[in-house]
Chains A and B, each alone.
Chain A
Amino acid sequence: MSPARISATRNPLRDPRDKRLPRIAGPCSLVLFGVTGDLARKKLLPAIYDLANRGLLPPGFSLVGFARRDWQDQDFGKVVYDAVREHARTPFREEVWQALAEGFRFVPGVFDDDAAFDLLAETVRTLDAERGTGGNHAFYLSIPPAFFATVCEQLQRSGLTEGEGESWRRVVIEKPFGHDLESAQELNAIVESVFPADSIFRIDHYLGKETVQNLLALRFANQLFEPVWNSHYVDHVQITMAEDIGIGGRAGYYDEVGAARDVIQNHLLQLLALTAMEEPTSFTAESLRAEKEKVLAAVRLPDDLGRHTARGQYAKGWQGGEQVVGYRDEDGVAPGSTTETYAAMRLDIDTRRWAGVPFYLRTGKRLGKRVTEIAVVFKRAPHLPFGDTETEELGQNAVVIRVQPDEGITMRFGAKVPGNQMEVRDVTMDFGYGRSFTEVSPEAYERLILDVLLGDPPLFPRHEEVELSWKILDPVERYWARAESIDTYPAGTWGPDSAETMMERDGREWRMP
């Protein structure tokens, strides 16, 4: 009996049929810039613990924190501990925490300080020797993009951007990826000058959500939906991301950016791409991206932007039993600011599948409630063998993919009202994740961080996609920039009247999400 062969591509202990075996990342560490930020505390650190708790991190996994704080490793440990206790999804287990905490290191540093990065390089080298992280390190830049250039240069200067031999270095960046096409290209040039394109992971946490991945399953694993997923049957598509909160403490950032750049450019256009794209030939990163890029490139803006876009700013009002101030009265917002907190637009897709089917995108702060959904609204049946009065209450059929909260799918169709009269009314049929599967679906960040460590890119947008979405948004932004005033809407409502008018022009109306 000769032992089974083992090579880089052939591991006899793995078998595609073995669905129990989780994919565990190889030996590595994660260097986190911006550990004191909200995102790190609420999402990243808890996600790392949850991964460890699910047994998905490698033995010896280490976490290096980098921040402008005069801290010891233990102080950093305390910050992680508090974040984990408060925000982790899985139960706290002493032994998991213990094993994880052994790999915590902290580097006190200012971004323009060479010594700090020398220390980081030294720390990383020590980890390779002491904990066997094997020269594999991911750098997570949870910091404002203005610092990317400095940090990237520093990483290069201190020799951190290139691994030896088989080992890898990866960099993770968060949105915003620039504020228009030009700045996105600049930003990309900075990062790509230091890291190769396939080592750059752009995180759009929406893409890590189970529902978004399920959208692919829904469309391409079923026979039920794909035949009607085209202009023969679909009347229009509405993609909504509504938030009930205001801008919180992000005034400085938000006032520069506005709703469209903050949300439409990344999340909504990605959702549009996944909803509208053709079937990829496989689920590899390349074929998925190819399809997404194709559909983004086919997006056409309306000729008259004034008639088919809308924007607004929230004014003071009552939101969910609470009186809230208007946008211009928020701390840190210029009194005469014309930054939009609500944006809506019509987009058309010039492909055979979608010709004549408008996609309506909207997003806003301080709207009725927090909800993200994709609603595919179907045409009415061409002929109804019922009297007008019998179908008065019948709307258009719809398939709604609820991204958050309460992830799931709703279908709306007509049913007869019980009784001796023939009367057809809309009813809904619901599928909820929490009801049919685990009540604990993993957080988006868990999936994304694990994918970074495994080097598995399908869920991450490429630079080409980012550029394409800026090409769609830039003309709209330029058009808006010429306007001197901005519509307002009372907080807690579904946006300005102009948004309603925009839909009425097309003979349609916004769904109540």
Chain B
Amino acid sequence: MIVDLPSTSTREVSKKLVAVRQDVGAMALSRVLTLVVLVEESGLEEALRTASAASHQHPCRIVAVALGGKRGSARLDAQIRVGGDAGASEIVVLRLFGPLVEHARSVVTPLLLPDSPVVAWWPLKPPKNPAADPVGAMAQRRITDVATTGSHGPALRTLAKHYADGDTDLAWARVTHWRAILASVLDRAPFEQVTEAVVAGASDSPSADLLAGWLAFRLKCPVSLVRSRERSGVISVRLERASGPIDLVRPQDGETAVLSQAGQPDRAIALPHRSDEECLADELSRLDPDEVFEDALTKGIPKVTVRRMSMSDAVARGDAPSPSEGRYTAARLAREARTGDAAAMVERAAPEKKSRDSTAVKKAARRKLAETEDS
């Protein structure tokens, strides 16, 4: 259900929200937070789609503020979306024109849920200083996405300069799986120091910078960053240890990574690219300051050496693991798995009819045992 309220006031919007709730009935759900989306008109629909998908995990009120032209007289156009059009959330879209553009805070304030946290999200251009932004100042958590800026290097530096508790960035959420796998590798023997680390990632991927910054701060060893082609995301991480390197490689566009470690067989693991919804939902699930992000951003990244050479040069010199080899290994592992192609399992007929007779089963066990001992 969509209700349009052109040239209106927040008082009207609040009244209408209550009325709509009563009409629809089902809207009387508890909402755990208010998500304020600050976006230009062009990115509005996309942002709302992402936000309402994320709201399946965190029922919230989404207040989207679209800033229009500053000229002309002050005007507020509002739209309320509930039910099927809004997923598990209720959406209020506010379009601001004229001098009102400077005063987004005044229209957001009356629409915040009582006694619950406020999260501000800039799906596109992050503000210079999120915590000083009038809306950002009201929020417990401020989510930016530096990947949407043309040059993320300076953007990260600005973010670091103005960092305040509660700031976070979607580029950070995108590398959570990477971090999880790397951390779990160091949970196991051999417990050796990491002497050097190399991260390879796209020249337009702030996630690679953050990952490298995190490693640099936590491992206190030299970390360098090599650049691969644009739009390829994070490609690989190498951690050097005395016993040999740990390589985690996800070939471009691949969803499967290969983990290689000296003295251990290569292992494949699903490492899918995370969608914006997942990342946003992740951000909404915790509202306290993310100190680990702060360390990576403000103290880690300055320690990272950005190499001039391209990734292919680094691979050629043996400084970084080769993504094509990674792809080859992933394919080999899939081939070697004796189950063969996993797709074959899918198409296979259900095996229920096969023998459950004990003698036949015993025979099968012996046959299989003989096969394994032979090979």
Contact = CB atoms under 8 A, between A and B. Distances in A.
A437 B180 contact: no
Contacts of B194: 3-4, 6
Nearest to B348: A78
Given A113-B365, A122-B373, 17 more contacts: A3-B220, A4-B221, A13-B215, A17-B292, A22-B180, A24-B180, A24-B181, A24-B183, A69-B355, A71-B354, A74-B345, A82-B350, A101-B345, A110-B365, A118-B369, A166-B189, A437-B57
Given A8-B191, A12-B186, A439-B88, A1 B220 contact: yes
23 contacts: A3-B193, A4-B194, A6-B194, A7-B191, A11-B186, A13-B182, A17-B291, A20-B179, A24-B180, A24-B184, A26-B184, A26-B188, A55-B180, A69-B361, A93-B255, A96-B272, A103-B337, A104-B337, A107-B365, A110-B362, A113-B362, A132-B261, A438-B56
A20 B181 CA distance: 12
B42 interface: no
Contacts, number: 236
Interface string A66-102: 0011110111111111100000000001111111111
A116 B362 contact: yes
A2 B220 contact: yes
Interface stretch (B9-17, B64-72, B136-144, B263-271): B263-271
A458 interface: no
Nearest to B172: A20
Interface size class of chain A, counting residues whose CB lies under 8 Å from the partner chain: 35 or more
A60 B267 contact: yes
A12 B220 contact: yes
A74 B346 CA distance: 9
B346 A81 contact: yes
Given A13-B183, A21-B183, A75-B354, A108 B272 contact: no
Contacts of B189: 8, 166
B29 interface: yes
Q: Interface majority SS on B: helix, strand, loop or mixed? A: mixed
B73 interface: no
Contacts of A122: 369, 372-373
A442 B14 CA distance: 36
B181 A59 contact: yes
B218 to A, nearest CB: 5
Contacts of A148: none
B179 to A, nearest CB: 6
Contacts of B366: 115
A45 to B, nearest CB: 13
A1 B192 CA distance: 16
Nearest to A136: B188
B103 interface: no
Interface in B326-375: 333-334, 336-340, 342, 344-346, 348-351, 354-358, 360-366, 368-369, 372-373
Given A12-B220, A81-B346, A436-B32, A70 B338 contact: no
Interface in A212-263: none
A98 B270 contact: yes
Which 8 pairs, one residue from A and one from B, show the smallest C-beta to C-beta distance?
Answer: A77-B345, A102-B337, A101-B342, A75-B351, A60-B267, A59-B267, A59-B269, A95-B255
Contacts of B44: none
B282 interface: yes
B291 A435 contact: no
Interface of A: 1-8, 11-15, 17-22, 24, 26-27, 52-53, 55, 58-60, 68-71, 73-82, 93-105, 107-110, 113, 115-116, 118-119, 122-123, 126, 129-132, 134, 166, 431-432, 435-440
Interface in B161-181: 173, 176-177, 179-181
Interface in B4-55: 29-30, 32
Nearest to A60: B267
A316 to B, nearest CB: 33
A132 B265 contact: yes
A427 B23 CA distance: 22
B299 interface: no
B195 interface: yes
Contact of A69 (B182, B215, B354): B354
Given A108-B365, A436-B59, A74 B220 contact: no
B113 interface: no
B186 A13 contact: yes
B369 A1 contact: no
Interface size class of chain B, counting residues whose CB lies under 8 Å from the partner chain: 35 or more
B340 A68 contact: no
B221 A1 contact: yes
A6 B361 contact: no
B60 to A, nearest CB: 11
Contacts of B210: none
A73 B338 contact: yes
A26 B336 CA distance: 22
B339 to A, nearest CB: 5
B353 to A, nearest CB: 10
B187 interface: yes
Nearest to B32: A436
B299 to A, nearest CB: 13
Contacts of A3: 193-195, 219-221
Contacts of B292: 15, 17-18, 20
Interface string B212-234: 00010011111000000000000
B344 A435 contact: no
Contacts of A19: 286
Contacts of A118: 369
Contacts of A11: 183, 186-187
Interface in B98-137: none
A93 B272 contact: yes
Contacts of A69: 351, 354-356, 361
A59 B365 contact: no
Given A4-B193, A78-B350, A131 B265 contact: yes
B94 interface: no
A483 to B, nearest CB: 41
B58 interface: yes
A73 B186 contact: no
A63 to B, nearest CB: 11
A200 to B, nearest CB: 23
Contact of A109 (B58, B354, B361): B361
Given A102-B333, A132-B265, A70 B193 contact: no
A122 B282 CA distance: 42
Contact of A74 (B58, B181, B344, B362): B344
A270 B263 CA distance: 45
Given A78-B348, A99-B256, A103-B337, A6 B186 contact: yes
Nearest to B295: A15
